[in-house]
Structure 1
């Protein structure tokens, strides 16, 4: 049985749900870019946005330019809002489990590739639980799966890699954490995760926490 002292959570697709196709379509329509091309541009430039090399204005302006468009102030405000909202729908089961862990005395932290616009938007979300520490790529200037972002979090929570478990929906990020010695688990659903956490002696995930 593992004896972890801290649990690290990815944000997107773990604590929150994935963006809806309608969210992506709304952003593409806002910028008047064909949907499949918009999706390509969105992810091509995302690391620079997440790491803080681009602010929101530059990120969305560059996407618009790739699509052969100019962007107005109104479009900029609207597309940022669409993006923020799209990444703000809670996975309540996981959010409440994170709170259960923290109140039971464990250290909890977020390790997320996240731009400053979304980070600020999250501050006002009522469903977000409190964490012991937050490691956001836009602050530490490093994106997963690079070692630096994980090492920064370990330093902040004063933990050794062997004392920590990391949950992320992307295999490459899990592998990145493993490279620095952190036990890591590829998250798919709370239902799939529940037997694993029970087997290692962590507090149960309440699968009824859907309301």
Structure 2
């Protein structure tokens, strides 16, 4: 029986609206150039490297000065862009929690996002937040899934997991979790209902609300 539901954060619950566009505009560089530079060392940033270690080489690739002020500004902008939880996502978390199951978020994200989430108005929408930088390891490292199961105090097979990246879903499945690739909120609700983590009535009510909006 599913006793806990774990969600990825970026793209799944948070759209990260403006995360690339706003920073590219701030720096005055083409969006494509910024996007390419953004992902080069992102996994190391998610694993816990410092703001300076991540943003300095990024700025150098774009031919921009890596001043402390610029690094601080980009880190703050990046954290704020990711630390968003639309009403649709809040409703999904609340509906799962209303079934009596614990809800957790497991995200590959740096410290700046972790801090922004902690200061947000939605930090209490989940029972647990597992952020990779604070854990010192990223998905799909097997240790990530073991740590989450240990903290939740549930058997791996009692955890339902949703993530938008196939390697992370496969990593969860290897750990014994019941995992599904995120494609949309509607698909997520249907799958959670199928595995018994969400009431069919709640799913039907949500679909009806969407139709009427």
Structure 1 stretches of 4+ moved >6 Å: none
**Contact residue 162 and residue 188 of structure 2 kept, 8 A:** no
Corresponding residue of 2:118: 123
Corresponding residue of 1:65: 60
C-alpha distance in 2 between matches for 1:191 and 1:99: 15
1:57 is displaced (CA, Å) by: 2.3
Q: Give the structure with the higher percent helix.
A: 2
> Which whole-Å deviations, capped at 9, do the CAs of 1:106-144 have from their partners, x for residues lacking one?
111111101111111112222344323222111111111
1:69 is displaced (CA, Å) by: 2.5
Aligned match for 2:4, one of 3, 6, 15: 6
Q: Does 1:42 align with 2:61?
A: no
1:17-166 mapped onto 2 (5 Å cutoff): 17-20=15-18, 23-52=19-48, 54-166=49-161
C-alpha distance in 1 between matches for 2:166 and 2:87: 23
1:82 is displaced (CA, Å) by: 2.2
Unpaired segments of 5 or more residues in structure 2?
Answer: none
1:154 is displaced (CA, Å) by: 0.5
C-alpha distance in 1 between matches for 2:151 and 2:194: 28
TM norm structure 1: 0.87
C-alpha distance in 2 between matches for 1:91 and 1:17: 8
**Contact residue 30 and residue 75 of structure 1 kept, 8 A:** no
SS at match of 2:125: coil
Q: How many residues align?
A: 206
